[in-house]
Amino acid sequence: MKHIVDRAADFVLAVERVFGVRPRLLDGSRAVQIDEVKLSLQAGERELCVIRMHGALEEYLAVIEVRGDIEVPLLKAKELLDA
């Protein structure tokens, strides 16, 4: 029996739980924005990209591998942004 995991299905809710604010949806359920930071699931939902927005320009701050629970990389992203 195959087990399918859809990390994007819980992504928006997990962002809200970890960051404590409701994010702005950018690309369906695969990219959200909190203030000037964009969080985007990429590479088949195996990478979480942390991107600082400067108007139309994007500055990639980190790419965090996603394995299993989406909250783990989101917690790493929050630590990075809080530092």
> Tens digit of pLDDT for each residue in 4-63?
555 566 888 999 999 999 999 887 778 999 999 999 998 777 899 999 999 889 999 999
Query: Which residues touch 64 (CB under 8 Å, ≥6 apart)?
Result: 47, 48, 49, 50, 73, 76, 77
If one compares 42 and 64, the residue with the highest pLDDT of the two is 64
Residue 2 confidence class, pLDDT cut points 50, 70, 90: low
User: Which amino acid appears at position 81 of this protein?
Assistant: L
Give the pLDDT score at 40.
Answer: 94
